[in-house]
Structure 1
Amino acid sequence: MSLYGTMRTGVSGMNAQANRLSTVADNIANANTTGYKKASTQFSSLILPTTGGAYNSGGVTTDVRYSISSQGTFTYTTSATDLAINGKGFFIVQGSDGMQYMTRAGAFTKTDEGALRNSAGFTLMGYEYSSTDDPTIVVNGFDGLTEINLSSGSLNATASTAGALDVNLPSNEAVGYTKPTSLVAYDSQGNTRLIEFTYTKTADNVWTVQASYNGTPYGPSTTMTFNAAGKLTPSALSVTLPVQNINGATLGPLTIDMSGSTQLGSPFDVSNGKINGNAASKVTGYEISDDGIVYLKYDNSELVPKYRIAMASVQSPDNLKPLPGNVYSQSADSGVVVMGYAGSSGYGTIISGALEDSNVDIAEELTSMIESQRNYTANSKVFQTGSELMEVLVNLKR
């Protein structure tokens, strides 16, 4: 056995324990870092061949592993832009270098420009929302992503296109009896427009309804016919109002469903009067659903979907390459990046108003620290003993 080999083995053991202490130090330092995934040191023996009956001491090598696939607990907050993933997947964020990365750190806040940026300075990415089709995603890459911006809809106005107006017309009134009522509609610029509907009894069980705007007839007169039971015949009735140009804006076309109207021995009454659309309103807040749809909330309480948060995954998350800022990039061993949406295709759901805690167990880390300290001391004793024996050999010459 070589005394030099013994000393080298002791140094190998000290280096291995120093590596373990380094991962412990990182874990303890990041115990309160949102979305942090702990590192651990794995040991493997290094065996040297025995020659001439003499044992050659080897050593130990280390390999750092990350528990990226292990989910942490959740801390709930009052901010809708604090996001956590319950299950598999990663947020896609963009760094100041223009590159995209993956992260579980969802402590996003709104910047002056409206972007969502986490505490490490990475911007949340996604796709523009479509009510008809899901955005086309590039399955194995980040192409097509756009910055999620909460200021992209500072004002919103939706023109009215349809509504309903159900009334009861008094059957005991004489022919010639008239009664008006009205609905508020919205033009293409969000201005309110009052549309008046005048009902006139023309015969037994027969009425006409005429819409008007600003005292001028709006669309044709429509006949309403009722049976002996006071029900419409036919049972479906809609009034279609054409497009009007008003001060540079357009109103209509409008389809008003009147199928719920009746003619009974009771006074005139409106049982249902509504119309879609909304006036111009400002963004007052935002909501994010569990499937990652970002809604802008306007001061008229309307929620308008604007973006859908993108998510990514790989075949072996624990083999991703960790980078500064608590982000990850694809490595040769992690597999390719696969894109998707929250709540589908094996991806987890998004929790708004929550943050994922680190998966570090302080008690476990302190135990590992004590073990490493003792093992480092023991390895240093091996080195010290080898050094002392070497000194004995040197002194044999005297």
Structure 2
Amino acid sequence: VTPCNPQDPRTSTYSTSLTCYDAEGRRYTVALYYVKTGSDQWAVYGMNGNTPLNDDPATPELDPLTVLNFTNGRIPDGDPSLRVTGIDAGNFVFDLDLTGTTQYAGESGIVDLGQNGYGMGRMTGIAVGEDGLIQVRYSNGRTEIVGQIRLVDFRNPNGLQPIGNNLFAETPDSGTPIPGAPLTGRMGALRAGAVEESNVDLTQELVNMITAQRAYQANAQTIKTQDQLMQTIVNLR
């Protein structure tokens, strides 16, 4: 079998590439070369640019990452995954999972190729679900749950005391608060971006309005009386 030479496509049967990211979001492109070494055997080689992966510098030839042996077109039960090293000077390693690789007559190709790493991303939005979970979206396509909004219930919600600005205070009649997550127990659901219906105490607000009106009328009468006194003083002259 001719040793694999990434610079010579004639030495490999098939090649593909994948993208991986390190912990700091740096991107690397890994080239994989498949060389058929037997009727049911393939050697897989890896390169990052001009740098061989999992290579022993003591050997003159490029060392394979792994050798795949097939039975009836499939890899026998097991986990054909491996750790790949040598991608950079920082000893960055990643796991390469070749589960699902098959060998059948026909042209070689990729059916499914994925990776679970992400490059650097900036926050692009925040969403709050009915269950209170706060989900952050990033420009690299990643989403992450960063927290949850909690709710509290009361044995007697009607016993709460309004204190203004849509706020209510605990009272002996309401009982102590019972914390919990939305959609659990007696807790309701959250609706992001919704406007709460008014919870103004109309009776109290009418009393306040009448009080203000009476104060205005009293002040107006005082000004009117003062004006009449001034007019009388002017007439006396």
TM over 0.5: yes
Judge conservation of contact 1:296–1:304 (CA < 8 Å) in 2. Answer: yes
Judge conservation of contact 2:48–2:87 (CA < 8 Å) in 1. Answer: no
Q: Is residue 2:129 matched to residue 1:289?
A: yes
Q: Is residue 2:104 matched to residue 1:251?
A: no
Give the secondary-structure state (helix, strand or coil) at the position aligned to 1:230: coil
Which residue is equivalent to 1:267? 107
Which residue is equivalent to 2:28? 193
Q: Deviations over 1:229-273 (max 9, x none)?
A: 3222x134433224557365x633x22222211111111101111
CA gap 1:271/1:336 in 2 versus in 1, 3 angstroms? same
Judge conservation of contact 1:235–1:259 (CA < 8 Å) in 2. Answer: no
Length, aligned pairs only:
185
Residue 215 of structure 1 and its aligned partner are, at CA, apart by: 2.7
CA gap 1:243/1:292 in 2 versus in 1, 3 angstroms? farther
Judge conservation of contact 2:12–2:35 (CA < 8 Å) in 1. Answer: yes
- Asked which structure has the greater RCO (Cα within 8 Å, sep 6+), the reply is 1
Could you tell me how far apart the structure 2 residues matched to 1:243 and 1:199 are?
18
Residue 279 of structure 1 and its aligned partner are, at CA, apart by: 0.7
Q: Which amino acid aligns with 2:150?
A: A
CA gap 1:339/1:245 in 2 versus in 1, 3 angstroms? farther
Could you tell me how far apart the structure 1 residues matched to 2:12 and 2:147 are?
53
Query: TM-score, length-normalised on structure 2?
Result: 0.70
Q: Is residue 2:81 matched to residue 1:239?
A: yes
CA gap 1:320/1:359 in 2 versus in 1, 3 angstroms? closer
Which residue is equivalent to 1:183? 18
Correspondence list, 1:145-160, <5 A: none
Q: Is residue 2:148 matched to residue 1:308?
A: yes
CA gap 1:328/1:247 in 2 versus in 1, 3 angstroms? farther
Could you tell me how far apart the structure 2 residues matched to 1:207 and 1:309 are?
53
Which residue is equivalent to 2:65? 221
Match of 2:44 among 182, 196, 209: 209
Give the secondary-structure state (helix, strand or coil) at the position aligned to 1:318: helix
Match of 1:346 among 158, 180, 186: 186
Q: Deviations over 1:346-392 (max 9, x none)?
A: 211111232232268x9xx9xxx9xxxxxxxxxxxxxxxxxxxxxxx
Which residues of structure 1 form unaligned runs of 5+? Answer: 1-175, 370-398
Instruction: Give the CA RMSD over aligned residues.
Output: 2.5
Could you tell me how far apart the structure 2 residues matched to 1:225 and 1:299 are?
40
Residue 186 of structure 1 and its aligned partner are, at CA, apart by: 0.5
Could you tell me how far apart the structure 2 residues matched to 1:266 and 1:330 are?
74
Could you tell me how far apart the structure 2 residues matched to 1:320 and 1:243 are?
63
Correspondence list, 1:315-334, <5 A: 315-334=155-174
After the TM superposition, which segments of 4 or more aligned residues of structure 1 sit over 6 Å from their partners? none
Could you tell me how far apart the structure 1 residues matched to 2:184 and 2:134 are?
16
Could you tell me how far apart the structure 2 residues matched to 1:246 and 1:258 are?
22
Q: Which amino acid aligns with 2:67?
A: T
Q: Is residue 2:73 matched to residue 1:230?
A: yes
Q: Which amino acid aligns with 2:194?
A: A
Judge conservation of contact 1:238–1:255 (CA < 8 Å) in 2. Answer: no
Q: Which amino acid aligns with 1:223?
A: V
CA gap 1:194/1:264 in 2 versus in 1, 3 angstroms? same
Q: Deviations over 1:199-256 (max 9, x none)?
A: 11111111111223233332363111112x3222x134433224557365x633x222
Query: TM-score, length-normalised on structure 1?
Result: 0.43
CA gap 1:244/1:344 in 2 versus in 1, 3 angstroms? farther
Could you tell me how far apart the structure 2 residues matched to 1:301 and 1:194 are?
19
Judge conservation of contact 2:53–2:85 (CA < 8 Å) in 1. Answer: no
Q: Deviations over 1:62-101 (max 9, x none)?
A: xxxxxxxxxxxxxxxxxxxxxxxxxxxxxxxxxxxxxxxx
Which residue is equivalent to 1:392? none
